[in-house]
């Protein structure tokens, strides 16, 4: 008998003829997640199994974060012919349990010498004999002991819920505009959860933003990297663009114009990365540059879709997710962002396109964009 992890997947079930591809990707992602724990991962009977983990708890933590995994079970694996051992395994699993239980048997091996109702009865009787303090409740048990008869027998109790989603890499590529704030890491995580590989762009404005502020963003990317299966961060020098906007454009319009330049650069980097969409952490009305009118003005710059997965979320809801994915504590460290440098006193919440275009006509956009791209440094995390 040995203890293994039985991994269940969620939406991959929906994938008709593409299902083998999604399964292969999921196995690869799980394999990658447990490689430092020497985990052995295999696919059998449409289930993924993980064995030989050097640290079971750490293995569970890692596998439950792999996008595409719906839930997992710590499961005892035994030879199916040894029915007594199956009964003993069931007793072992109720060691700490008090109250009601039921046995739920399933056979994918239909030639097995007992049918499911008989397995339920026999295992249930055996458990009651060893643990007369327990009672059976078939309708509303406090604990279900599952017995699965496949190529081997698997006995387990409660499933552990995992993250869900789809394996990274099965749904294209996107480029995330990553600031040091709370929102954008959450936005990137949410899109990656749908199976999208992610790269990131960060704008910094030295000397107005510090080296430590940039390091904070790279730390956020490192935290995300485990779930995202790696992330490349393009750090783009943004000082010259901001200075020129500040000098030449209408003071109420500096933020919106700055955001359009961010979009231009992110769009160019997305093309280099062969990404099919941009992702931002914007939410309707959160700040002046996120009114519907302002979002329309920045959207217009991109020639690929801009995904804003937080668009309808409140800050408290975003903070909940940030806590869950482990980025919150880093996000709230007090370092400056280029957006907070030169903020206008009365940012336009209903920006007019003529004023934006008039401001931008005073800037040598092509040269500014090229210089920023030339100065970009890429970190592979
Ligand atoms: P966040 O909490 O993610 O920092 P925010 O609340 O500070 O966002 P804004 O400053 O308006 O809001 O930024 C909106 C979005 O623009 C961010 O979610 C992010 O996608 C992008 N963004 C802002 N600043 C930067 C930056 N310095 N580099 C890259 N992207 C940025
Ligand atoms: Mg925000």
Cis-peptide into 343, omega within 30 deg: no
The values of phi and psi at residue 144, to 5°, are -110, 125
- Whole-angstrom distance, CA of residue 29 vs CA of residue 68: 9
Cβ atoms of residues 48 and 27 within 8 Å: yes
- For residue 211, the CA-to-ligand 2 centroid distance in Å is 22
Query: pLDDT digit string (tens) for 187-232?
Result: 999 999 999 999 999 999 999 999 999 999 999 999 999 999 999 9
Q: Considering only CA atoms, which of 114, 83, 103 is closest in space to residue 156?
A: 103
Phi and psi, residue 223, nearest 5°: -65, -45
Nearest C-alpha to atom 7 of ligand 1 is from which residue? 181
Q: What is the per-residue pLDDT across 67-115, written as a single tens digit (0 to 9) for each?
A: 999 999 999 999 999 999 999 999 999 999 999 999 999 998 889 999 9
Q: Which DSSP helix (H) or strand (E) runs through 278? A: strand 278-279
- The rounded distance, in Å, linking the Cα atoms of 201 and 275 is 12
Distance 167 CA to ligand 1 centre (A): 26
Across the range 51-63, mean pLDDT stands at 96
Query: Quick one: what percent of the chain has pLDDT higher than 70?
Result: 99
At residue 244, the pLDDT reads: 96
Count H helices, E strands: the chain? 13, 15
Domains of the chain by start residue, with CATH? 2-161 (3.30.2130.30), 173-380 (3.40.50.620)
Task: Note the pLDDT tens digit of each residue in 267-326.
Answer: 999 999 999 999 999 999 888 788 999 999 999 999 999 999 999 999 999 999 999 999
End-to-end CA distance of the chain: 39
- Give the pLDDT of residue 286: 86
**Ligand 1 atom closest to 310 (CA):** 18
More confident position, 141 or 342 = 141
Q: What is the DSSP string of 161-187?
A: EEEES--TTSS-EEEEE--SSSHHHHH
Ligand nearest to the CA of 239: 1
Ligand nearest to the CA of 176: 1
> For residues 148 and 103, what is the distance between their CA atoms, to the nearest angstrom?
11
pLDDT digits (tens, 9 = 90+) for 23-47: 999 999 999 999 999 999 999 877 8
Where do runs of H (alpha helix) occur along the chain?
Answer: 19-33, 56-63, 83-93, 116-130, 183-193, 211-228, 239-248, 254-272, 292-299, 315-325, 328-331, 353-360, 365-374
CA atoms lying within 13 Å on the CB side of residue 252: 10
**Residues whose beta carbon lies within 6 Å of some atom of ligand 1:** 177-179, 181-184, 201-203, 262, 280-282, 287, 289-290, 337-339
Q: Is residue 13 pLDDT above 70, yes or no? A: no
Cα 189 to ligand 1 centroid, rounded to whole Å: 15
pLDDT at 126: 98
Instruction: Tell me the pLDDT of the chain averaged across its residues.
Output: 94
List Cβ neighbours of 178 (8 Å cut-off, separation of 6 or more): 184, 185, 188, 200, 201, 202, 217, 220, 221, 233
Residue 20 reports pLDDT greater than 90: no
* Inter-residue contact 238 to 345 (CB < 8 Å): no
pLDDT tops 80 at residue 339: no
- How much distance in Å is there from the Cα of 128 to the middle of ligand 1? 59
Q: Which helix (H) or strand (E) holds 200?
A: strand 197-204
pLDDT band at 147 (very low <50, low <70, confident <90, very high): very high
């Amino acid at each position: 008998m040995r203890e293994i992890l039985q991994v269940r997947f969620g939406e991959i079930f929906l994938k008709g003829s593409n299902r083998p591809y999604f399964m292969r990707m999921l196995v690869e992602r799980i394999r990658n997640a447990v490689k430092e724990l020497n985990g052995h991962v295999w696919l059998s009977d449409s289930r993924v199994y993980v064995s030989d983990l050097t640290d079971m708890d750490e293995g569970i933590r890692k596998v439950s974060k792999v996008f595409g995994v719906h839930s997992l079970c710590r499961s005892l694996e035994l030879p199916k012919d040894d029915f007594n051992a199956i009964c003993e395994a069931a007793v072992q699993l109720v060691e700490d349990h008090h109250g009601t239980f039921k046995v739920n048997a399933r056979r994918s091996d239909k030639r097995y010498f007992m049918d499911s109702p008989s397995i339920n009865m026999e295992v249930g009787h055996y458990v009651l004999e060893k643990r007369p303090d327990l009672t059976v409740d078939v309708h509303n048990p406090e604990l279900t002991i599952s017995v699965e008869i496949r190529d081997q027998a698997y006995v387990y109790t409660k499933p552990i819920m995992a993250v869900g989603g789809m394996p990274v890499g099965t749904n294209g590529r996107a480029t995330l505009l990553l600031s040091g704030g709370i929102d954008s890491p959450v936005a990137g995580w949410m899109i990656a959860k749908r199976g999208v590989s992610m790269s990131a762009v960060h704008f910094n404005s030295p000397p107005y933003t510090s080296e430590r502020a940039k390091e904070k963003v790279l730390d956020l990317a490192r935290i995300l990297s485990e779930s995202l299966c790696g992330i490349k961060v393009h750090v783009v020098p943004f000082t010259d663009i901001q200075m020129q906007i500040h000098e030449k454009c209408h003071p109420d319009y500096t933020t919106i114009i700055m955001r359009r330049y961010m979009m231009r650069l992110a769009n160019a980097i997305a093309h280099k990365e062969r990404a099919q969409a941009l992702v931002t952490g914007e939410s309707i009305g959160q700040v002046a540059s996120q009114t519907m009118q302002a979002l329309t003005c920045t959207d217009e710059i991109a020639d690929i879709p801009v995904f804003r997965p937080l668009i309808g979320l409140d800050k408290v809801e975003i903070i909940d997710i940030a806590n869950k994915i482990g980025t919150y504590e880093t996000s709230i460290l007090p370092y400056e962002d280029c957006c907070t440098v030169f903020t206008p006193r009365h940012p336009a919440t209903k920006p007019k396109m003529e004023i934006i275009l008039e401001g931008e006509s005073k800037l040598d956009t092509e040269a500014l964009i090229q210089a920023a791209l030339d100065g970009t440094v890429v970190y592979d995390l």
